Structure 1
Amino acid sequence: MSNLYQYIGWVLCLTILYSSCDTVDYGDTNDNPNGPTKGVTSLLLANSLSNIPDIVIDETPILYMQHITEGQYPGASRYSGLTYSYDDWYVGPLQDLNKIIELNSDPETADDVLTYGSNDNQIAVAKIVRAYFLHYMTDRWGALPWSEAFMGIDNPQPKFDTQESIYDFLFAEIEEALSLIDYETPAPDGDFLFDGDLERWASFANNLKMTMALRISDVKPGLAQTKFEEAVASGLLVMSNDDNIEYHYGTDDNSDSPWNDNFKTREDYILSRTMIESLRDNLDPRLFKYAEPARDSVSTVTKFPDGMDAGYVGAPNGKVNGDVPNYSFMPAEIIYTPDYPSPIYTAAQVKFALAEAAGKGWNVGGSDAATLYEEAIVASMEYWGISEEDTADYIADHPYGDIEDIAYEKWVALYLNGPEAWAEWRRLDAPSLTPSSFANDPRIPVRHAYDASIADNNKANYDEMISFQGPDNLHTRLWWDVK
């Protein structure tokens, strides 16, 4: 009986406690007095832009492209990663950009965020940045959840959109963004990339459109030509190094260059033998700008006058190169300057694209492939501080012949721009790169596989994606990679 009374007592206590909690008004006790009460789109934009270094300094494709290799602990240079997660993109910058677009599009919140720039300009910039991120992602994985993404519990298992449909979406997204830019109204706050210069954002969008157009030229030549020529007609492509689009870092630990961070306590990256010997064989003066002389060794082969290239030594790709002082490092300026900028779109890159387009017979403004090819080399040499005399000598020894010449020179000019170099190498199948002999599977990857959780948590849509894209591994070619 005493146990029964004890039980009833506990029930009464819990009932009273529950009732008390249900009726007490705690007011603003749990409110953060320092927190925002409305969406702060300037912070969302700044946070999303801070993810650009994850693209422009993505070491994995740089290692694939044999610009550099690894020291004592080889990983990506041996193609060791088998699956890669895209989750951080969806829950991070893409979600931030979606929120900017939502807040500026909804009549109930649009007026609240006007303090951070005009609604149309905020939407335009958010769409351009979102297109840039999504383009990187689809060229990395291929098909992606998109049209049914971001629906939360309403659809936790979204379908995969084909890469072709994603490209179609991206072209439409860029066109809409360009149509929304209003130079007479305030630019978005939080834009530390261009400091509110809307014409630079229009240039960014057109350079992205040009890049995408050339990427699909083997599978949708008609659409590719149309979009490419539209970008040319805009007059906003990067045509000189003064107009290069770059990501500028800060000097503190929270905003400095990832390269600077990589070398603060370790020396994991050294020049690839492939890059060093390619430059040496072609008497390319960029050799002396792309690398530092090795500290503890010299090359057994020299080809420049007076053996001036003896100190430049490349390491075998994927080998355990524990004796890193025997090899050349990246330029000291890149390694030790915390705010050394990273290129996003450069004059050399654009001029090589124009040269290829001219060779296809597309309208590039009246110039021809050979002239644009030479101008691209000049732009690359100028960017790296090569003299006009040395540049002229190099061009005289390496005249334009065909697309193979463009492919090689573009690979050289895209030094340390891994995602673009990787994408163009896949599209053009040039230059010829020998896979690492130290890899378990000696094939250079042509895409990244999805994280294993995708097959477990979204099996039906994952299986459907496999049916139209192909096996989920590192060697299934993407939609535009048909050569």
Structure 2
Amino acid sequence: MKKTIKILTLFIFSLTIFNSCDTVDFGDINDNPNGPTAPITSQLLTSAQSSVPSLITDVTGICYVQHITEGQYPGPSRYQTTQFSYDSWYVGPIQNLNKIIEVNEDPEQAESVGAYGNNDNQIAVSKILRAYFLNYMTDRWGYLPWTEAFQGVQGTQPKFDSQEFLYNYIFDELNDALGRINSGAGPSGDVMFSGDMDKWATFANTLKLVLALRVSDVDADLAKTNFESAIASGKVISSNANNVVFTFGSDDNSDNPWEDRFESREDYIMSETLMEELRSELDPRIFKYSQPSRTGSTSSPAFPGDIDEKYVGGPNGKVNGNVPDYSFISGTVIDDQTYQIPMFTYAQVKFSLAEVSLRFPTWNFGSGTTASLFQEGIEASMEQWEVDTADITDYVASHTSSTITDIAYEKWVALFLNGPEAWAEWRRLDAPTLTPSIYATDQRIPVRHGYDTSIQDNNAENYATAVAEQGPDTNHTKLWWDIN
């Protein structure tokens, strides 16, 4: 009994001390005199931008659209994963961008963080990049927590916003960001464009143009307004020289992920779908996108002199164990640590303009006809990959039809290795026709990603509402804009 009383007395005393701490003013005793007094926004921006490579080189979408497939360890090419977590985007890059915007909008902190670039330019860059990340996310999952997200322990069960809401939000954010860009200093820590605000304006307007066309089947007015606004800005990609690309560093911490993937492994090979399409069309890009196999050959070469004989694609989703029998991705991509991965290109813009000319001729899309814009798109893609002029001329001369099917096909070819854009555009246009892997358990190419199981467990009510409105939480429920 005495022992119990002593323990209780100790506990009550400790509790008294703990509670009294709430009334004591310790002043700045816990402040680090050598620490920063405001966030270092340049570091936050660099950290956020370090997530771009994982987005633009993600193999999942690239396997879905059958640009590449896998060797002896098939996964995405068999659509094996059905549920994916979005948590890392919320707690990582987007949270960093939120903080940059917050402190630059705070009158008490704006002056100090202005040392890292003009306040409005910092906000503009953060909003553009945040819109880019959010678009990537909603084009994977559809409905997402947003207006009630980022509330910490006060908001652990946020509602899901519809994709329609999120797209409207993205357009508003891009337009707000573009309105803020000025001649002041660009943000420090910008590893993408080194603080060049003209490049950020081009990125934002091109993103707006692409996304406007993406929603054109479900909200023509929203699409027209934003598409024409992007064109009127005069700051969309206008040549291969100003393609929006991500340039990698030469050290192992910042170099090209494709180069890292092939340093000691050979997991990815060219898909037979793309290779046979290029072969049948006598498309010279077959020699630019890939390299000859070491031991394999095709039984049906099509180019003069059988120069394509060693260019071989693998069956999608099959265990292609003997990878030397197949072609790898071009050494231009996988052997260069500092390779520039395209995010948006001149070719993509030209094909978008050709589509608008064909489907929405009353929109202001600039000059040109469907046929001329389509041809310019092909030329831009081939020039981007340094195809010989004579080969470009021959190919264009034999590909003069510019139907929506033709445009969709050429866009699919031109978006080689751009997984997010290629997957999104294939879903929107439903072309070209792709045969799902016969080696998959569920022989349907995914059109979205399912939510991680933790969402249903920890946010059941809001999860149920989202599923009821959007459709079953499977990889085969179409997104808001995917109505064809």
Query: TM-score range, shorter-chain basis?
Result: over 0.9
Please state how far the C-alpha of 1:160 moved relative to its aligned partner. 0.7
1:63 is aligned to: 63
Give CA-to-partner distance per residue, 1:57-104, whole Å, 9 cap, x none. 111000001000000000000000010000000000110000011101
The answer as to whether partners of 2:374 and 2:402 remain within 8 angstroms in 1 is no
TM-score between the two structures when normalised by the length of structure 2 = 0.95
Q: Go from structure 1 to structure 2 and tell me whether the alpha carbon gap of 1:436 and 1:7 turns closer, same or farther (over 3 Å shift).
A: same
- Indicate yes or no: 2:282 matched with 1:287: no
Report the Cα distance in structure 1 between the residues aligned to 2:118 and 2:250, rounded to whole angstroms. Answer: 31
- Match in the other structure for 1:336: 335
Question: If the length of structure 1 is used for normalisation, what is the TM-score?
Answer: 0.95
**Do residues 381 (structure 1) and 382 (structure 2) align?**
yes
Deviation, 1:168, is: 0.7
Which residue is 1:368 aligned to?
369
Structure 1 counterpart of 2:298: 299
Tell me: CA distance 1:35–1:319, structure 2 relative to 1, closer, same or farther (3 Å): farther
Structure 1 equivalent of residue 136 of structure 2:
136
Q: Distance in 1 between matches of 2:10 and 2:98?
A: 49
Residue 365 of structure 1: CA displacement? 1.1
Root mean square deviation of aligned Cα: 2.1
Q: CA deviation at 1:438?
A: 0.1
Q: Distance in 2 between matches of 1:207 and 1:20?
A: 57
Tell me which residue corresponds to 1:395: 396
Equivalent AA in structure 1 for residue 114 of structure 2: L
> What's the offset of the Cα at 1:153?
2.5
Q: What is the aligned-residue identity percentage?
A: 55
Tell me, yes or no, if the aligned pair for 2:370 and 2:402 is still in contact at 8 Å: no
Could you tell me whether the CA contact under 8 Å between 2:447 and 2:477 is conserved in 1? yes
Which residue in 1 is equivalent to 2:109? 109
1:198 correspondence with 2:197 = yes
Q: Is the 8 A contact 1:404 1:430 kept in 2?
A: yes
Is contact 2:258-2:333 (8 Å) kept?
yes
Return the alpha-carbon distance in structure 2 between the equivalents of residues 229 and 17 of structure 1. 65
Does the 8 A contact of 1:374 with 1:400 survive in 2? no
Q: How many angstroms does 1:366 deviate by?
A: 2.1
Any runs of at least 4 consecutive aligned residues in structure 1 with deviations exceeding 2 A, and if so which?
3-37
Long gaps (5+) in structure 1: none
CA distance in 2, matches of 1:105, 1:389: 54
1:95 and 2:95 correspond: yes
CA 12–204 in structure 1, closer or farther in 2 if over 3 Å, else same: closer
Measure, in 1, the Cα distance between the counterparts of 2:274 and 2:478.
25
Asked whether 1:410 is paired with 2:407, we answer no
2:460 aligned residue: 459
Matching of residues 15-164 of structure 1 within 5 Å: 15=13, 35-164=35-164
Conserved? CA contact 2:59–2:419, under 8 Å: yes
What do residues 125-166 of structure 1 show as CA deviations (whole Å, max 9, x unaligned)?
Answer: 110110010011111110111111111222221111110011
Post-superposition offset of 1:274? 0.4
Q: Secondary structure at the match of 1:386?
A: coil
SS class of match (1:344): strand
DSSP-derived class of the 1:112 partner:
helix
**Helix, strand or coil: the match of 2:120?**
helix
> Quick check: 1:354–1:372 contact (8 Å CA) kept in 2?
yes
Distance in structure 2 (CA, Å) of the matches to 1:15 and 1:352? 75
Equivalent residue pairs, number: 480
1:39-69 deviations in Å (ceiling 9; x for gaps): 1111111111111112111110000010000
Q: One-letter code of the match for 1:107?
A: P
Q: Secondary structure at the match of 1:195?
A: coil
* Greater CA drift, 227-236 or 413-422: 227-236
Following TM superposition, by how much is the alpha carbon of 1:333 offset from its aligned partner in structure 2, in angstroms? 2.2
Q: Secondary structure at 2:450's aligned position in 1?
A: coil
Deviation at 1:37, TM superposition (A): 3.1
2:2 aligned partner: 4
Quickly say closer, same or farther: Cα 1:13–1:179, change in 2 above 3 A.
Answer: closer
Distance in 2 (alpha carbons) for counterparts of 1:105 and 1:317: 50
**Aligned pair in 2 of structure 1 residues 391, 100: CA closer, same or farther (>3 Å)?**
same
Tell me the CA shift for residue 263 of structure 1: 1.1
Listed one character per residue, the Cα deviations across residues 443-476 of structure 1 (whole Å, up to 9, x for unaligned) are 0000001101111111111111111100000000
Instruction: Give the secondary structure class of the aligned counterpart of 2:224.
Output: helix
For the structure 1 residues 437 and 35, does the alpha-carbon distance in structure 2 shift closer, same or farther, using more than 3 Å as the test? farther
